[in-house]
A and B are shown apart, each in its own frame.
Chain A
Amino acid sequence: MVYGHSDMGRSHVVDPITLKILVAGGFGAGKTTLVGAVSEIKPLRTEELLSEAGRPVDDIAGVEAKTTTTVAMDFGRITLREDLVLYLFGTPGQDRFWFLWDELATGALGAVVLADTRRLEDCFAAVDYFERRGIAFTVAVNCFQGANRYPEDAVRDALDLDPGTPVILCDARERESVKSVLISVVEHAMMASAARR
């Protein structure tokens, strides 16, 4: 054989199809936890835009246990097949980073809006953003300890969601739970695109 092994292997590798799902939600809602529960890599961080100096202005009422702010985009990866890779991007948890959302949302398959029932108003902006742009999303209610549990319908009413938008109770730490949330996003995206055709 003339070629070394690495040459041969390399030339047959198919470029993977890459897809992304966004994970939005308020500060401390559990976005990075959710990404970490299904990612095959420890969630990576792409850009640090906020230094420690930004911390005092974050409103942490109700989420005091959280010590660091997701200042940029934490992301994880799920290799579904050698040539099919799904990336999960946590959106910046603060309103002043809205400008980053447009770039993240471009080409996204869909989104998860992670809701904390103690601070449901934190996800109004995300719900509004995805509705306006016609991006399919599922609302995943993260069932925190110490938070009251509300039925899906109560959350749906409180967020004034379209009837077709799925609402799922989840535990962002549990892989199986997060898997069903992601499947719901893709199914919803598929239905939405079929309806448009």
Chain B
Amino acid sequence: MSADGEGDARWFDDAAGPVVRPYAMTRGRTRSAAEGKLDLIAVVVADSVNHMPVADQTLSPEHIDIVELSRDSPQSVAELAAELDLPVGVVRVLIGDLLHAALIRVSRPVPPAELPDERILREVINGLRAL
């Protein structure tokens, strides 16, 4: 809140919070069947150009945003949440819908409990040194 707005009981714009409550976008759903594969660094890819999700009346503007963002370049779940300014939980549900509709695919990160193999770790070290 801006300094001159302090002490003022009325809220304007950003200070008032989102016009639509985040979980209204998921129609109240807080979980997705796909949740297990939607780690923060799982990568969402929309590579089919044949689908025109804009024409799909069941999709919300946020669904369409996700498809469009991940069509430009693969996006991690965390990046999509930050970009859309939505809680990660909401974005996971929306991604789950899109997966179900086959509008996107998700490539899973290295399985938890397993470290990536030594070759990849060496590449990471070399990559960091070269930065």
Residues of chain A whose beta carbon lies under 8 Å from any beta carbon of chain B: 6-7, 10-11, 13, 15-20, 38, 44-47, 52, 73, 75, 77-78, 80-81, 84-87, 89, 103-104, 106-107, 109, 175, 179, 182-183, 186-187, 189-190, 193-194
Contact = CB atoms under 8 A, between A and B. Distances in A.
Given A11-B47, A19-B41, A80 B81 contact: no
Interface of B: 1, 39-43, 45, 47, 49, 74, 76, 78-79, 81-83, 87-89, 107, 109-113, 115-116, 118, 120-125, 127-129, 131
Contacts of B78: 44, 46, 73, 75, 87, 89
A15 B129 contact: no
A85 B47 CA distance: 19
Contacts of A103: 40
B131 A16 contact: no
Contact of B121 (A7, A10, A81, A190): A190
B69 to A, nearest CB: 13
B110 A17 contact: yes
Contacts of B107: 15-16
Nearest to B126: A80
B49 A10 contact: yes
B88 A18 contact: no
A81 B127 contact: yes
A135 to B, nearest CB: 10
Contacts of B83: 44
Contacts of B1: 52
Interface centre among A47, A179, A194 (most CB of B within 10 A): A47
Contacts of A193: 115, 118, 121
B39 A106 contact: yes
B120 A84 contact: yes
Nearest to B129: A183
B128 A78 contact: yes
A15 B74 contact: yes
B43 A16 contact: yes
